Structure 1
Amino acid sequence: MTTPHEPRVSVICPTFNRSRPITDTLDSVSAQSVTDWEMLVVSDGSTDDTDDWVRDRARTDPRIRLIRAERHGHPSGPRNRGLAEARGAYVAYLDHDDLWYPGHLRALLDAFAAGAGFVATGFEIADRHGRVTSVSRALDLCWHPEVQTLGPVFEPSRVAHRRGLAEAVGGWRAGSGAEDWDLWLRLADARTRFSTVLDRTVRLLADTGTRRHGITPRRRLPVAVFEDAARAHAALCELGEHRHEAAFRRACAADTRAWLRRMAASAEFVRPAGWSGDPEAELAEGTEGLGGTGADLLLVPERGRYLVALPLACVTAEHALRVQALVRRTRPAQFALIDEVVARHGGVPAQDAGEYGFGGGRP
């Protein structure tokens, strides 16, 4: 098999000490129905036999290329290295512990042919034993700039974009937080045309050892401010009590339906290609749906007072401020319940507390 002079798709796969299991990921690319691709496996200073396994596969499939990099300890560095070496018109990402099904690149290219600049496909989630534990539904593939602001949607292995777009907005950024959420948001801000595909073409690994489970949020979204630690703790405990669960579930459902209805009426709302269903009908009772902070409230001492806050996996303080500005507008019923409990314990909403309303954590 000869390597195409100009592959249509460059596949970037950062890896570190994956050893033999990386061959499953490589083989899932070699099995693609689309054949004019190159795969850039960027080894982030691996110290085991990962590089040897990649070289072995490259001998039988020259479209696979090993790039040895200095240790970054973060996938953004290897991905940027891959971008610098990519020759394809389109760039697709594949994490070293995920797999593609044979039609993945075909689904991406069909979306690009329809004018997309950024494409995300459907998925299956499997545990480390290969058992599928959940699958994407149409609602997971609905998109809007507000969804992108509030939640880390679209894992890298599901995503491709036209070459040059990532570099134009500053490339992949390192640091604490969800680096994919950060890059996709910057692409959305640059008015990139987002498109999604309903087909489940990717199998994602759900395991506590994956990076997504290991991110420690540095940012926070202040919800309430207290003068007294005991009162703040009492409010936090009450907010977690089972007796409020049904009310919060109803409030969440009402907020999400209203938010979805408003977004769906907007020209910026994206449905999966070829899907004409009703997004609101896809909502299950009590689900957050369409992103969300996905984190529990915590108690944070600050400047002699006490914050009840949500941790945020935003890379930048500016992004966290944008979340704070939007989240109360999209979740009024939920915050009305929170504010009621906070007031009962002598606290005030964060936006009413002067300097504590900044919401982003430290830059």
Structure 2
Amino acid sequence: MSSPALLPLCLLLLGLAAPVLAEEAPTPAPETPAAPAAVAPALERSQEQQQALMRQLPAEQQKTLQAGDESFLALLMPAARAKAAGTVVLVPGDGESADWPNVVAPVRQQLPTFGWQTISLSLPDPYDPVVAIEQDTAPADTDAQANSEQAAPPVTGGSGTAPAAPTQAEAGSGEPAQAAVAPVDPEAAANAQATRVLARIAAGIDLALQQGASPIVLVGHGTGAYWAARYLAEKEPAEVKQLVLIDAREPQGMPPRLDATMGKTDLQIADLVHAPGAAAQRRKERAAQKANKGYRQIDLPVIPGDRAAEQEQTVRRLRAWLDRLPPAASGSPAAS
């Protein structure tokens, strides 16, 4: 057979063999989908602040305290004297760290020079009543509702009830229907926040007692002043008889009001304010109504453009009030 005749025959044989070779080719195994990576829960902003302080500050200043099932960072600075004049427990305001540059850090760092030991606490993220109310009133998940409405009825037979066929939404997505978000009770959320904060203040006072330097004075800045006053009103610790409020304000949506809380206490109170307003006036009037002779409101100077000088004046006024405290008023066992 001549070569020109062989060429069409070879092409015909190759065409017939191609489908057979394709059928014999091994089918690749389906790829196993990778397991979804575990997602770590998001940290609170206050936890991120604590981690930053742990990297920045000397280890000897750092104390890890326990409050319920939570641990948190406190900063301890011993007095620069052989015998401390007492202990100041600092409660920062909303969004402030234990070494916040406004008021908290100057008080924490400067009072030890004058003989006062300081303990500064880290508080949890502030309670947001707007978020709690929105979650409480939010409708159930719309996708979950749609899937529920489109679900086929169960198939009933002689052997029982068989599961219904998946809906188009369930079959197409490959994902289970999202459960509705559990409603949040704003009052319960506020109570839970109070429990967390007051437990941390209690842990700070316990640390102060372990250090053995009395009197113990609770100093709150901003909303921290509210929490300090509320702690003393509700817990009435025998070891703490002095309270300092610096530019006090109330957390949003958190009852009771600060002046009502202070009305339940009969302590020595220094109320330091840069800009006295209606709230400061209410506190002053409540102290007068309760005949609390230990209450004193102190105006702080506002120095525009010189924050350092303004902070220095705050520390100076606080130190002057602390130095006038009678030793017997500490409420400690040694003084009683």
Structure ID, larger Rg: 2
Query: Normalising TM by the smaller chain, what interval?
Result: under 0.3
Structure with the bigger percentage of strand: 1
Q: Which one scores higher on RCO, CA 8 angstroms, separation ≥ 6?
A: 1
Structure with the bigger percentage of helix: 2
